[in-house]
């Protein structure tokens, strides 16, 4: 008899986006004349930078001729892309990362979800709250928790992110082995300073723990004082893995390209207490279970770093940051406390009431769709997330409508 992995039965059905869609459909059926503006989802809306498109076309043409055709590429990614990443994303910022520590993939979602399988079943996992749900669900699927109770899984150490700590969690007061951090954060838009990340790195070193640092929104950082990579922090290479993505950086959400950095110095321990290279484990997993990102997509990603691509990508991010700044200012003008939106495409709003109630109010009174914060965890209750991924015109109209609705 074929039996299931019963850990899947522990998963709380994630009704969040289905519920949002259902409420929006019901509203539209009642009010077909109302035009809805969606500031809920985290998907980009603008076209790919021209340099990426040109590189993709050129690569497609290479595949049309036997002389330049390419079949399977290296699982870890082509050297041209790994070198460009190491040079521009790390060495240019003083972080000593080499190409052979970079693993190109088809998404940070897969990588942040898959990484946990390198570690023992009984490692103690620390999860921020609110959180990008992939970190939670993949550890539940792997059997590291009990069944959910009141929306939380026994077995996790939750790291509360609240207004009181500026949405940057305090260091754990109990021992943990695997720590998920995400800055700039989805959903709160919060960023971490050099000093805050240094404290986490020092804690991980002292406790022989490992930090999984999700920097998918790194390109939105404009404040020069903020670190872009955890490897700008002394000692991080021994205790941190970093995830990056071209999704939000360059509009690759549908194209699919990302990468994970696992430094050579990064170690975990075996049953006998002997150190084992995490990079070797990840390389083994990657080469066994993944067959590389397509050649045209990797050429398009390489173009992000070209002389033409760099200003185009910056303009793209600036466009969303301008939306975000406008949203934040408008919300503050409405008397709502919010965070994020200055080095991040997300604005996290203190709704001062039940987050679904506020969602319904905005939908009904303003025709604006946001994301209820409670969908990201307990600490998200009484908050909503607003995303800057839309046209400026829509953003401006949405803010005007919200201001009118909340008067
Ligand atoms: N990490 C975070 C924090 C995200 O918000 C997202 C996407 O929304 C991802 C990772 C996934 O990125 P990718 O498109 O590369 O899978």
The predicted structure's pLDDT at residue 167: 97
Domains of the chain in sequence order: 7-47+310-405 (3.90.1150.10), 54-303 (3.40.640.10)
CA separation for the pair 24, 17 (Å, rounded): 10
Q: Is the pLDDT of residue 202 over 80?
A: yes
Confidence of residue 41 (pLDDT cuts 50, 70, 90): confident
Atom of ligand 1 nearest to the CA of 257: 15
Atom of ligand 1 nearest to the CA of 258: 15
Average pLDDT, integer, range 208-234 = 98
The predicted structure's pLDDT at residue 183: 98
Mutating to test ligand 1, I would choose from 135, 245, 250 the residue with most ligand atoms within 8 A of its C-beta, which is: 245
Ligand 1 binding pocket includes 104 (Cβ within 6 Å):
no
Confidence of residue 255 (pLDDT cuts 50, 70, 90): very high
* Tens of pLDDT, residues 390-405: 999 999 999 999 999 9
Ligand 1 binding pocket includes 119 (Cβ within 6 Å):
no
Q: Is the pLDDT of residue 15 over 90?
A: no
* Tens of pLDDT, residues 107-145: 999 999 999 999 999 999 999 999 999 999 999 999 999
The predicted structure's pLDDT at residue 13: 73
Confidence of residue 196 (pLDDT cuts 50, 70, 90): very high
Ligand 1 binding pocket includes 136 (Cβ within 6 Å):
no
Q: Is the pLDDT of residue 282 over 80?
A: yes
Atom of ligand 1 nearest to the CA of 185: 3
Q: Could you give the percent of the chain with pLDDT greater than 70?
A: 100
Strands annotated E in 278-397: 338-340, 346-350, 368-369, 371-372, 383-387
The predicted structure's pLDDT at residue 181: 98
Phi, psi (deg, nearest 5) at residue 4: -90, 165
Atom of ligand 1 nearest to the CA of 110: 16
pTM, two decimal places:
0.97
Strand 156-160 relative to strand 125-129: parallel, antiparallel, unpaired? parallel
- Determine which of 5-19, 36-50, 161-175 has the lowest per-residue pLDDT on average: 5-19
* Tens of pLDDT, residues 343-381: 999 999 999 999 999 999 999 999 999 999 999 999 999
Q: Is the pLDDT of residue 42 over 90?
A: no
**What SS3 class is residue 160?**
strand
Atom of ligand 1 nearest to the CA of 246: 15
CA separation for the pair 192, 299 (Å, rounded): 32
Average pLDDT, integer, range 235-245 = 98
**CA dist 318 to 174, 341, 343, 359, Å?**
40, 12, 10, 27
Count helices and strands (H / E) in the chain: 13, 15
Distance (Å) from CA 309 to ligand 1 centroid: 22
* Tens of pLDDT, residues 139-164: 999 999 999 998 899 999 999 999 99
Distance (Å) from CA 248 to ligand 1 centroid: 8
Atom of ligand 1 nearest to the CA of 182: 3
Distance (Å) from CA 134 to ligand 1 centroid: 9
Phi, psi (deg, nearest 5) at residue 169: -65, 150
Provide the angle, in degrees to the nearest 10, between the axes of the packed helices 355-366 and 16-30.
Answer: 30
Burial class (CB in 10 A: 0-12, 13-18, 19+), 335: exposed
Confidence of residue 12 (pLDDT cuts 50, 70, 90): confident
Confidence of residue 98 (pLDDT cuts 50, 70, 90): very high
Confidence of residue 19 (pLDDT cuts 50, 70, 90): confident
Q: Could you give the percent of the chain with pLDDT greater than 90?
A: 97
Ligand 1 binding pocket includes 116 (Cβ within 6 Å):
no
Distance (Å) from CA 120 to ligand 1 centroid: 25
CA separation for the pair 160, 177 (Å, rounded): 17
Confidence of residue 50 (pLDDT cuts 50, 70, 90): very high
Output the six-digit token pair for 402. 């919200």
Ligand 1 binding pocket includes 132 (Cβ within 6 Å):
yes
The predicted structure's pLDDT at residue 151: 87
The predicted structure's pLDDT at residue 241: 98
Output the six-digit token pair for 378. 């307990």
The predicted structure's pLDDT at residue 360: 97
Distance (Å) from CA 3 to ligand 1 centroid: 31
Phi, psi (deg, nearest 5) at residue 369: -105, 125
Please name the residue whose Cα sits nearest to atom 11 of ligand 1.
109
Atom of ligand 1 nearest to the CA of 43: 8
The predicted structure's pLDDT at residue 187: 98
Distance (Å) from CA 405 to ligand 1 centroid: 32
Distance (Å) from CA 43 to ligand 1 centroid: 10
Distance (Å) from CA 372 to ligand 1 centroid: 18
Distance (Å) from CA 163 to ligand 1 centroid: 24
Please name the residue whose Cα sits nearest to atom 1 of ligand 1.
216
């Amino acid at each position: 008899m074929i039996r299931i992995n019963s850990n899947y039965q522990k998963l709380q059905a994630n009704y969040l986006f289905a519920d949002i869609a259902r409420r929006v459909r019901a509203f539209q059926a009642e009010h077909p004349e109302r035009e809805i503006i969606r500031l809920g989802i985290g998907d980009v809306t603008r076209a790919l930078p021209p340099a990426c498109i040109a590189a993709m076309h050129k690569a497609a043409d290479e595949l049309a001729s036997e002389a330049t055709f390419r079949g399977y590429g290296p699982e870890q990614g082509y050297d041209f892309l790994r070198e460009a990443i190491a040079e521009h994303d790390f060495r240019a910022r003083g972080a000593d990362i080499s190409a052979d520590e970079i693993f190109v993939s088809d998404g940070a979602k897969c990588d942040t979800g898959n990484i946990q399988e390198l570690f023992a079943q009984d490692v103690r996992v620390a999860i921020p709250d609110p959180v990008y749900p992939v970190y939670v669900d993949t550890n539940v699927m792997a059997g590291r928790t009990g069944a959910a109770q009141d929306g939380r899984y026994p077995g996790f150490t939750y790291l509360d992110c609240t207004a009181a700590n500026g949405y940057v969690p305090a260091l754990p007061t109990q021992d943990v082995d695997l720590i998920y951090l995400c800055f700039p954060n989805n959903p709160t838009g919060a960023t971490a300073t050099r000093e805050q990340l240094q404290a986490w790195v020092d804690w991980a070193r002292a406790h022989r723990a490992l930090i999984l640092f999700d920097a998918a929104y790194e390109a939105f950082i404009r404040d020069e004082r903020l670190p872009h990579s955890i490897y700008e922090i002394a000692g991080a290479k021994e205790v941190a893995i970093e995830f990056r993505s071209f999704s939000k950086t360059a509009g690759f959400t549908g194209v699919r390209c990302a990468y994970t950095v696992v430094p050579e110095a990064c170690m975990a321990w075996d049953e006998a207490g002997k150190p084992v290279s995490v990079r070797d484990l990840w390389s083994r997993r990657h080469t066994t279970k993944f067959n590389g990102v397509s050649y045209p997509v990797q050429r398009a990603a390489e173009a992000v770093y070209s002389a033409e691509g760099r200003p185009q990508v910056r303009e793209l991010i600036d466009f969303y940051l301008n939306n975000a700044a406008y949203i934040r200012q408008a919300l503050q003008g409405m008397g709502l406390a919010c965070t994020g939106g200055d080095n991040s495409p997300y604005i996290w709003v203190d709704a001062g009431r039940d987050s679904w109630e506020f969602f319904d109010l905005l939908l009904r009174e303003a025709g604006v769709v946001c994301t209820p914060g409670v969908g990201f965890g307990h600490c998200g209750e009484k908050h909503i997330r607003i995303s800057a991924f839309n046209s400026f015109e829509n953003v401006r109209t949405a803010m005007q409508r919200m201001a009118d609705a909340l008067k």
